[in-house]
Amino acid sequence: MPSKTIAGKTVEVTEDGFLVNPSDWTEEIAAELAKEEGIEELTDMHWKVIRFMRQEFEKEGHIPTIRKIKNAGGVPIKDLYNLFPDGPAKKAAKIAGLGKPQGCV
Give me the catalytic one of 31, 65, 100, 104.
104
pLDDT in tens, 17-58: 999 999 999 999 999 999 999 999 999 999 999 999 999 999
The pLDDT value given to residue 105: 44
Whether 104 is catalytic is yes
Please report which confidence band the pLDDT of residue 5 belongs to, taking 50, 70 and 90 as the band edges. Answer: very high
**What DSSP assignment string belongs to 78-104?**
HHHHHHS-S-HHHHHHHHTT--PPTT-
> How much is the mean pLDDT over the chain?
93
